[in-house]
Amino acid sequence: MIGTLPSPIQRSGWGSGVPLPRDSSDCPQLSPFGGPVASTRAASISVHAHPAGSLPYEYKIVIAGNHELTFDQEFMADLIKQDFYYFPSVSKLKPENYENVQSLLTNCIYLQDSEVTVRGFRIYGSPWQPWFYGWGFNLPRGQALLEKWNLIPEGVDILITHGPPLGFLDWVPKKMQRVGCVELLNTVQRRVQPRLHVFGHIH
């Protein structure tokens, strides 16, 4: 067992909403984070990689989310072809600005439809979520998302996804509906059955 965070706790100030202990001397050794950089500019990654990487944990594991546009290569390739988009700086981007963006995360372990083993725990991370206003790592509900979840191997101990499964912390009051992914729910409960599922996105 990895352990629980000691009290008292405080919330981190860089958008993750992950509770962080005020005294880190007895923190758990593994701390998974999602959504490290809300930016279209690869140059800012080296700055924003710092918050997770500077924490006093032996292992820092991060995944991207819908705000990490430059991590979604296919999304960016389509985006820079558009005449207008609500990210004005995107018109200045060239493929060389984002093609190797993952390599800038040098102070943590980045997972994107991939797995790492830490202290005997198999950990798998995935950034995808149901379509949400045309952001990064968005896919239509149904088969497209199921194909991504089918990549998750059985026997994983810890699953990290950006979005939630249907029915778990996915209620959006303004829409008066749940927005979690039913394909993810079925994958987690029926096939993968991880010991721990970590997710966020709804804020």
The token pair that represents 5 in the structure block: 């965070």
80-108 burial, b at 16+ Cβ within 10 Å, e below that, comes to: beeeeeeeeebeebeeebbeebeebbeeb
Q: What's the pLDDT band for 86 if we cut at 50, 70, 90?
A: low
What 3-state class would DSSP assign to 124? strand
- pLDDT tens digits, residue range 5-27? 333 333 333 344 444 454 554 44
Q: What CATH number has the domain spanning 9-198?
A: 3.60.21.10
- pLDDT tens digits, residue range 32-82? 445 444 444 454 454 445 466 677 888 889 999 888 888 998 988 887 777
Instruction: Give the pLDDT confidence score for residue 166 in this predicted structure.
Output: 84
Instruction: Give the pLDDT confidence score for residue 132 in this predicted structure.
Output: 80
Q: Which helix (H) or strand (E) holds 73?
A: helix 73-79
**In sequence order, what are the beta bridge partners of 62?**
33, 110
Contact by Cβ (8 Å): 38, 68: yes
As a whole number of Å, the CA-based R_g of the chain is 17
Sequence spans of domains, the chain: 9-198
CA of 177: how far to CAs of 71, 90, 126, 135, in Å?
29, 32, 24, 20
Contact by Cβ (8 Å): 201, 66: yes
Instruction: Give the pLDDT confidence score for residue 57 in this predicted structure.
Output: 82
pLDDT at residue 148 is higher than 90: yes
Predicted structure pTM score: 0.77
CA distance 21 to 68: 26
- pLDDT tens digits, residue range 129-139? 998 877 889 99
